[in-house]
Amino acid sequence: LLEAVANTFKIELSVSESADTILFDYDHGLSVPLIVPPLHRVKSAPTLNVIGSKVLRFGMVDGDAVVKADFVVYDPQSAHSPTLFRANGSDAKRLVIVCNRREVFLLTGEEDVGVAAAKLRAQDQAEAVIVKCGSHGALLVSDSGQQHIPAFQTNRVWPLGSGDIFAAAFFACWAHFGQPIAEAS
């Protein structure tokens, strides 16, 4: 099935097996996940080395990816211990970080979302940082300053996976239009 999807969308596929099957268990849709087996018992998969022009990189529980690309959208994807994009030797000519409030606070030690986003942008040499703030929308921090992005009004809410879709949709738009971030927003 994975090969069929990759072929359909012309995605280069490289499969690497994991030693553990990892389960994410949620008390409710907004809770921090319980990860089974516990992270300290998860065997790390080999590090992936990714070279490309446009890359969407997510943080991983059981491995890591070192990315070298022209432009990257990075979502740290960790409720427990997110890491900076460049911490593992990854590099991008243009980098946008898409994270949630918890991740930006954990990465910077700051308690104000605007201050934290600006600090993260400087720390990881990012063109922009977008902080997802749930029903409060998102905050974009770039050379143009700070811009609030209102939440999309919906009658139905299911937050699991919505952040992945947000990062992927942003990546697809940015990759397609290739404009500076302030113009693309």
> What pLDDT does 97 receive?
97
- Cα gap 7→118, rounded to integer Å: 39
Nearest to 145 by CA among 129, 160, 132, 156: 129
pLDDT score at 7? 92
pLDDT in tens, the chain (185 residues): 889 998 998 888 877 777 777 777 878 777 777 877 776 676 677 788 999 999 999 998 778 899 999 999 999 988 788 999 999 999 999 999 999 999 999 999 999 999 999 999 999 999 999 999 988 999 999 999 999 999 888 887 776 777 888 888 888 887 777 655 544 44
Give dist(CA 116, CA 99) in Å, integer: 11
pLDDT at residue 42, as a whole number: 67
Say if residues 67 and 76 touch (Cβ distance below 8 Å).
Answer: no
Query: For residue 65, how many other CB atoms are within 10 A of its CB?
Result: 16
Structure-block tokens of residue 91: 């590099």
pLDDT of residue 138: 93
Nearest to 120 by CA among 99, 89, 137: 99
